[in-house]
Structure 1
Amino acid sequence: MWTLVTGRPVSLYATAVLRIGYGLLYLVFLLREFPHRDEIWGPGSPWTPALAAQLFDQTGWYSFLIVSDSRGYFEFCYVLALVTSALFMLGWRTRAMSVLFAAVVASFHARAIFMTDGGDNLLLLMTLYLVLTACGRRWSLDARRERIKAARADVAPTRERSLAGRQLRAAHVTLTTVVHNCGVFVIAAQVCILYGSAGLYKVQGSFWDDGTALHYVLNLDLFQPWPAVSHAVDQYPLVMAVVGYLTVLTQVAFPFVLFGRLKYPVLIALLGMHVAIAVVLGLPLFSGTMIIADAVFLPDRFYTFLPGLLRRAVLRRGLRTPAQPEETGLGSVPAQGGHPGSRGAGEPVGRPARHGGPSPSGRTVPDGKPSGQTFTDRKPSGPTVAE
C-alpha cells in the first residue's frame, strides 16, 4: 500500500480530464448566466449582500463578492471568474490556478446558496480536491512548457546538483506524489459514497419500491423544462419501473464493481442515466458534474488509446489514397523509351524481358550482341520480380 501511494502519481490523465471538464463546465455556466448575473450574485440580487453576510456569520462561509456593494467591483469579480475558469481548463500555472478556481467556485456558491442545485455542492467538493492533485501534468500548457524545457536541457549542459539538492528534490517529488495520490483516492471515495448513499436511500423509499418514483418526478413543475417530453416518457409505466429499479441497482452496486471489468457497463449505464437527467429533468450542471467525476475511474491507458483511435478514424475517413489502377496485359499503353535491360512493356509480372528482338514499340532492344544470336546461358540484364 505504501508503495502504491509513494511510488508514482496515479491517474494523471484522469485528473487532467477532471481539470478540463470542470473548468469548461463552470466557464459555460458563467457564460450562460451572464445576462442574469446581477440577479443571482450581484448587488441587485434579492438575496442582498447584507443578508449573505448575516448567513456567513452563522455558517462560517465566506465570499469575496460581498467585500463591496459596488457594481464595478462585482463586474471585475465576474470577469476574474471567467478568466480563471478558462486558464484552469487550459492548465496554465495549474498550481496557482487550481487554488484561485476553488476560491471562485466557493465564493459564487456561497453568495447564492439558495439559488443553485445539487450539482454545485459536488462541483465545489471536486474543485477543493483538485487543489491536491497534479492535474496539470497532462494535456495542459504546463505540460507543453515542461516538454520544451526538457528538450532544451538535453541540448544545453546541465549543472550537477549537490547531495543536499538531490535529496531535497527527491523529497519534493515524493511529497507531491503522496499528496496527488491521496487527492485521487479522496475523489474516488467521494463518488463511491455519493452513489452508495443515494442507492441506499432509494431502497428505503416506498416510491422506489413500487416503481412509481420516476412518475412523480416527471410530473413536478420544477423538473419539467419540456413538459411534452416529460408527459411522453410518462406514458410507459413498465419502462419507468424498470429504469427505476436499474437506477437503484447500479448505484448500490457501483462501489463493489470498481476492481473488475463489470465497472465499464455500470459506468455506461450511469452515463445514460445522467444524460437523461440533464435532458428530461433540466439539470445539466448536476449531470455534467457527475459525468466528469465518473471519469476518474477510467485507467490512463484508456485516455492514451483515444488519440490514436481518433487519428486512425480520421485517416480512414478523410485521408484515403486513391485506388491504384490494376495492371493489364496487352491492352495497356506501352512505356515510352526505356532502359537497356528493362522489362518490355506489356510483359507479365515475373517473366524475364525479351532480348535481341523487337520491343512492343517497334524498336530493337540493344544488348551488345550480334543480331540473331540466342542467349540461353545468361540472365536477363534487368531485374525481375522472381529474383
Structure 2
Amino acid sequence: MPARILTLLTLLLEQPISLYAAAVLRIGYGFLYVAFLLREFPHRDEIWGPGSPWTPALARELFDQTGWASILTLSDSRAYFEVCYTVALVTSALFMLGWRTRAVSVLFAVVVASFHARAIFMTDGGDNLILLMALYLVVTACGRRWSLDARRARLVSADRTHRLPLDQPSGELRRHLRDARQTVVAVLHNCGMLVIAAQVCFLYGSAGLYKVQGATWGNGSALHYALNLDVFRPWPELSTMADRHDVLITIVCYLTVLVQVAFPFVLFGRLKYPVLALLLGMHLGIALFLGLPLFSGAMIVADAVFLPDRFYRYLGRLRRGTTWRTHGREAGTPSGGELALVPPQHTSLSQ
C-alpha cells in the first residue's frame, strides 16, 4: 500500500497527466463558444447588448444581490459592446488554437463568465458547464499538445539542438527555480484535471439519482413527454416518428438512468468505453430530438477527459498515416507502400 501511495504521489507531483485530454477540452470548448457567439451574432444586441429587455441597469442590480460581475455592464455604449463581442470571438478562437494559452485561458474564463452573467436567465445548462470548465482549464497545461504553443516549443527546441552547447552551466538557484516551477505546474494541472473528472462524475451521478426518484422515469414514459413539449421539438415530424415506438422509448429511458448512475463506478475498468459510447449516443439524441446542441456538445467534450492519452496518440498516428497515404498516392507512390522519393524506374525496396 505505501508503494502505491508513493507511485500516486510521484505521478501527481512530477509530470502532468492527460495532456491530450486537456487539449481536447481546450479545443472543444473554444470551438463551442466560437460557434455559439457566431450563431447568436444576429441577436447579440437583444441578448447581451444595450437593446436587451434585460437592461444593463437590471443586470447590475442583480449583481449587487448575487455577487456576479460582467465586463459587458461597465458601459451602456453600443460601440463598447461591439468591441467586447469582437474581443470575445477573437479570445475564443485563440484559446481553441492554443496561442499563449496561459494568458488567453484567463481571458477566455473572463469572457465566458461575463456573457453568462449578463444573460443569466437565457442559459440552457450547456452554458453552466462551459463556465465551470473554462474556470478549471485556467490551472491546467491545456496548451502542451495540439496547439500553436506546442508547435512553437518544438521549433525552439529544434533550433537549440542545432546550436553549439554553451560552456556556462546554469546556476544552482536557477535550476531549483525551474524544478519548482515544473512541480507547481504539474500539481495545478493534475488537480485541475481531477476536479474536471470529479465534476463530470457528480453531474452524471446526481442526474441519474434524480431520475430514479421521478415517476415518469420509473415507468419509462419520461421521453414520451419530452418529445411532445413544443419548446423541445426542433423537428416535430422527427419527434412524432420517434414517439410511435413505445417499447424503444421505454428501453432508452431505463438505459439512460442505468448508464448515468453506473458511470462513476465503471471509470477504472474497460467497461467505461461502451458506457462512454452510450453516453455519446445519448447526447447526440438530445441534440437532434430536443434541439440542445450546445448542451450536448459541452457534455461530449467533457466526456473526453476519461479517454487515456494512448487513445489520442493512436488517433494522431492514424491521421498521420492517412495523410501520408493520401500525399503518397498524389505523388505517385506505389500501392505497396514504397517511399515516394524512390523513382518509379528503380527496383522497389520490397523486391
**TM-score normalised to structure 1 length:** 0.82
- State the aligned residue count: 325
Post-superposition offset of 1:313: 3.9
Tell me the residue number matched to 1:208: 217
Q: Which amino acid is 1:137 matched to?
A: R
Assess, with a 3 A threshold, how the Cα gap between structure 1 residues 314 and 139 changes in structure 2: closer, same or farther: closer
Kindly indicate whether structure 1 or structure 2 has the higher relative contact order, using CA contacts under 8 Å at least 6 residues apart. Answer: 2
Cα distance between partner residues in 1 of 2:11 and 2:157? 27
Q: Of 265, 270, 295, which aligns to 1:261?
A: 270
**Which ranges of 4 or more aligned residues in structure 1 deviate by more than 3 Å?**
311-324
* Matching of residue 142 in structure 1 with residue 135 in structure 2: no
Q: Which amino acid is 2:200 matched to?
A: V
Cα distance between partner residues in 2 of 1:206 and 1:7? 49
Assess, with a 3 A threshold, how the Cα gap between structure 1 residues 65 and 241 changes in structure 2: closer, same or farther: same
Tell me the residue number matched to 1:273: 282
Tell me the residue number matched to 1:329: none
Post-superposition offset of 1:311: 3.4
Post-superposition offset of 1:155: 2.3
Provide Cα deviations, 1:75-133, integer angstroms capped at 9, x if missing partner.
00000000000100111100000000000000000000111211100110000000010
Cα distance between partner residues in 1 of 2:178 and 2:39? 44
Post-superposition offset of 1:312: 3.3
Post-superposition offset of 1:318: 7.4
Post-superposition offset of 1:171: 0.6
Post-superposition offset of 1:322: 5.3
Identity %: 69
Q: Of 296, 303, 308, which aligns to 2:305?
A: 296
Tell me the residue number matched to 2:251: 242
Cα distance between partner residues in 2 of 1:258 and 1:185? 13
Q: Of 169, 192, 195, which aligns to 1:186?
A: 195
Tell me the residue number matched to 2:26: 19
Post-superposition offset of 1:323: 6.9
**TM-score normalised to structure 2 length:** 0.90
**Pairs within 5 Å for 1:286-325:** 286-314=295-323, 319=328, 321=333
* Matching of residue 283 in structure 1 with residue 283 in structure 2: no
Cα distance between partner residues in 2 of 1:88 and 1:104? 11
Cα distance between partner residues in 1 of 2:84 and 2:116? 14
Tell me the residue number matched to 2:95: 88
Tell me the residue number matched to 1:376: none
Helix, strand or coil at the partner of 2:121: coil
Cα distance between partner residues in 1 of 2:33 and 2:88? 9
Helix, strand or coil at the partner of 1:310: helix
Q: Which amino acid is 1:254 matched to?
A: F
Q: Which amino acid is 2:211 matched to?
A: K
Q: Which amino acid is 1:23 matched to?
A: G
Aligned Cα root-mean-square deviation (Å): 1.5
Q: Which amino acid is 1:37 matched to?
A: R
Provide Cα deviations, 1:272-316, integer angstroms capped at 9, x if missing partner.
000000011000000000000000000001111112223334556
Stretches of structure 2 lacking an aligned partner (at least 5 in a row)? 1-7, 337-350
Tell me the residue number matched to 1:379: none
Cα distance between partner residues in 2 of 1:94 and 1:322? 42
Q: Which amino acid is 1:197 matched to?
A: S
Tell me the residue number matched to 1:220: 229
Assess, with a 3 A threshold, how the Cα gap between structure 1 residues 221 and 308 changes in structure 2: closer, same or farther: same
Assess, with a 3 A threshold, how the Cα gap between structure 1 residues 140 and 323 changes in structure 2: closer, same or farther: closer
Helix, strand or coil at the partner of 1:114: helix
Q: Of 252, 260, 280, which aligns to 2:261?
A: 252
* Matching of residue 132 in structure 1 with residue 178 in structure 2: no
